Structure 1
Amino acid sequence: MRAYVEEMAARLAEVPGVRGVMLGGSRARGEHGPGSDWDLGVYYRGELDLGALRALAGPGVEVAGPGGWGPWVNGGAWLTVGGVAVDWILRDLDRVERVWADCREGRYEVAIQAGHPLGFWSPCYPGEVALGQVLADPSGELARLRAEVAVYPEPLRLALTASAWEAEFLTGIAAKSAARADGLHVALCLSRAFGVLAQALYAADRRWCLNEKGALAVAGTLPAAPEGFAGRVRAILGALGQDAEPLAAAVEEARALVAETRAALE
């Protein structure tokens, strides 16, 4: 399968507009299982020949052009090869480089994006390059960028660790909703608070956090994480209930965990 994917990447790189292809996700990081998807980042500049992409994908496969899937994960295709999912994920290389420039200055965005319930964090773009494997790179652009992003920017580390203030703000809001037995709002506030803390813990260890999947388990192992961080988060979210009393108790546990984490990050 690896050989097939490499051949596919080479053919993708021949499509007008495509500058290179990277293997991403668990396959690139060596964390995959037998049925894991093959995620291919298709990096392009300017006008992309969608007709050529659709011809390469084959009949019956829908290829979404730039913007078709939203503002950040902005297009691609879902293929099945030999019963295994192979995903093409479009990445505008000009935009990736702009985001990387922002990250070096400690600037980032968090945006609404389908499939990312805690938001799409813009440092994901350079993080994907840092953690991915170059499969096709005729011009050498991806290799050059990968060499740059190998060093985690100190301004970004400082900005993301400082962002943990939002977790405290969110738990404060959640306390008011708990008193009204507004379970949905409490769950949303606490989930986002814990997601913010995970991003901060990753940054404190100079690690790229690409999305929410699996982030909690890893965050709990990082040096700045309080004892039992991941287990405590799971217990809090699992004990929310639907009445004011259990909701309020969960919020108080969350506020204590947020305070500990913020203190560890300082």
Structure 2
Amino acid sequence: MDDIAAKVAHVPGVVGVMLGGSRARGTHRADSDWDLGVHYRGELDLEALEALAAEVTGGPVEVYGPGSWGAWVNGGAWLVLPDGRHVDWILRDVDRVRQVWEECRAGRFEIGVQAGHPLGFWSPAYPGEVALGRVLADTDGELARLREETRTYPEALRTALTRDGVWDAGFSVTMAGKSFAALDVLHAALCLSRAVGDLVQALHAHHRIWCLNEKGALAATSAMPETPSGFAARATALLGGIGHGATELKRSLETAAELVDEVRDVVTP
């Protein structure tokens, strides 16, 4: 991967390459993909990237340019090496990452609609990727400097995510309650899933831990010292048994409200 990253870094427009995902955090399985964040600035030479992809895989590979995969995930390519390893190139506009980081330091964040992120793409994931990633190639040290900055979780962001996360979770549970009389399971399920996602984000922020996406985020709360007792198991049971009758939905709403209150007690100073 170091060799591939070094070659990618020589493509015009590329600033550097970071290893991300479970491989960077040391939580990977033997069959886990390799996620390489390709950080670029300005015009990116897609033809050169495609030529390099063909070189390392032994066949043609389509590289999707900035914006092709949505406003946040951006673009990239899926590679399969001759030895069977799967390598994902994920494009990141380094200036946008820096801008989002500055917003987070000021306690501001946003949630964007993005395919593959059912609860939305939370903007703090950008600096979180840098903080939790490993620099493989860095043309002038920019990624290393940014990584050093992002390793300190901003207190203003912690305040905003815990406050807004709990508020939105409570609001979502209230909205789910409006589905009760009509037994509107779709609306209730979406509201309660959003509520749990909000609480997971709030708990991560409270513990000053970057939350990059929904995958594994609920389970991760179990290892956090101030998480309410049995939170992950209870949230899992809630989402797995929302039900479609009046009695089941009522029970689900009550459980969700309890989780909101308990997390609020934890994160509120």
Q: For this structure pair, what is the TM-score category when the shorter chain's length is used for normalisation?
A: over 0.9
Q: Is residue 39–residue 91 contact of structure 2 (8 Å, CA) maintained in 1?
A: yes
User: Which amino acid counterpart does residue 41 of structure 2 have in structure 1?
Assistant: R
Residue of structure 2 in register with 1:184 after alignment: 186
1:18/1:42 contact within 8 Å kept: yes
Q: Distance in 1 between matches of 2:163 and 2:26?
A: 31
Letter in 1 for 2:70: G
SS at match of 1:135: strand
Structure 1 residue 245: Cα displacement = 2.1
What is the aligned counterpart of 1:247 among 249, 258, 263?
249
Per-residue Cα deviation, 1:147-200 (whole angstroms, up to 9, x for no partner): 111111110000001011100000011011132111111111111101111111
What is the 5 A alignment of 1:82-101? 82-101=83-102
Once residues 171 and 24 of structure 1 are traced to their aligned partners in structure 2, the CA distance between those partners, rounded to angstroms, is 34
SS of residue matched to 2:50: helix
**One-letter amino acid matched to 1:43:** H
Stretches of 4+ moved more than 4 A in 1? none
Bigger shift: 241-250 or 61-70? Answer: 241-250
CA contact (8 A) 1:104 1:155 kept: yes
Matches within 5 A, 1:217-256: 217-256=219-258
Q: Which residue is equivalent to 2:215?
A: 213
The Cα of 1:237 is off from its aligned counterpart by 1.1
Tell me, yes or no, if structure 1 residue 26 matches structure 2 residue 22.
yes
Query: Tell me, what secondary structure is at the counterpart of 2:178?
Result: helix
1:220–1:228 contact (8 Å) kept in structure 2: yes
Q: Supply the distance in 2 between the matched residues of 1:256 and 1:115 (Cα, whole angstroms).
A: 29
Q: Which residue of 1 aligns with 2:40?
A: 44
1:65-96, CA deviations, whole angstroms, 9 ceiling, x for partnerless residues?
00000000000000111222100000000000
Whole-angstrom CA distance in 2 between matches of 1:184 and 1:111: 21
TM-fit CA distance, 1:244: 2.5
Q: Is the 8 A contact 2:20 2:129 kept in 1?
A: yes
Q: Hey, what's the Cα distance between the residues in 1 that align with 2:4 and 2:33?
A: 15
- Unpaired runs of at least 5, structure 2: none
Query: How large is the RMSD of aligned CA atoms in angstroms?
Result: 0.9
Partner of 1:136: 137
Helix, strand or coil: the match of 2:223?
Answer: coil
Q: Is the 8 A contact 2:14 2:41 kept in 1?
A: yes
Equivalent-residue separation in structure 2 for 1:126 and 1:84 (angstroms): 27
Task: Give 1:158's aligned amino acid.
Answer: T
Rounded to whole Å, the distance in 2 between the matches of 1:239 and 1:101 is 40
TM-score normalised according to structure 1 size: 0.97
The residue identity in structure 2 corresponding to 1:110 is I
- Structure 2 CA distance, aligned partners of 1:10 and 1:185? 48
CA shift at 1:224, angstroms? 2.9
Identical positions, percent: 62
Corresponding residue for residue 122 of structure 1: 123
Change (3 A) 1:253 1:17: same
Do the aligned residues in 2 keep the contact of 1:73 with 1:89 (CA within 8 Å)? yes
2:73 is matched with: 73
Partner of residue 5, structure 2: 9
**TM-score using structure 2 length:** 0.96
In the alignment of these two chains, the number of paired residues is: 262
